[in-house]
Amino acid sequence: MSLAAETREAVRARPFLFDALRAGVVNYSAAATWLANDADLDGDSDAVATALRRFREELPTYATAERSATVSMQSGVSVIEEPAGNGEDALLRLPGVAVVPDGGDTAVIATGNVDATALAATIDRLRTADIFPAAAGIAGNALLVVVKRRAGATAIRVVEDALAATPETG
């Protein structure tokens, strides 16, 4: 595999760098030095920087768009290990686990134009706000994150902000 192909693969494995390249906010020399070490690329940093610049030229420009969604909060939920055959009232269910309306956490629910990109943007923004969901998911036109009760008010604002400026996909 060529150094250019290795560099592209390494960037795709690091979404923050991919987005930074799309946004045009990368110091190519610093990124190349870091990437060469972090991804163990077989090439000097100048060659990696050149590969980054060329890759940037191929990428669509970073842009965001507002998602039309209604955001609400439901207090008193929890994430439980779901006994077989139980959980008809679950807000979210995965094999063996469910978010149910009984507990000490808070669910933030967005309904409308939501998808995996909106969920990813939401999770990224929650992380930078030091809020780490106990559960998160999308299904149909609904997005759900479960956070500690005290984080509920902040989480609802973060979700609204994430949906107001969700990155557009290429």
Q: How far apart are CA 165 and CA 59, in angstroms?
A: 19
- Mean predicted confidence (pLDDT) in 75-86: 81
pLDDT over 70 percentage in the chain:
96
CATH for 93: 3.30.70.260
Q: What is the pTM for the complete model shown?
A: 0.86
Residues 115 and 69 occupy one common structural domain = yes
Q: What is the pLDDT of residue 95?
A: 87
Residues 93 and 120 occupy one common structural domain = yes
Domain range holding 114? 65-167
Q: How many domains does the chain have?
A: 2
Question: 26-36, pLDDT tens digit by residue?
Answer: 999 999 999 99
Residues 51 and 72 occupy one common structural domain = no
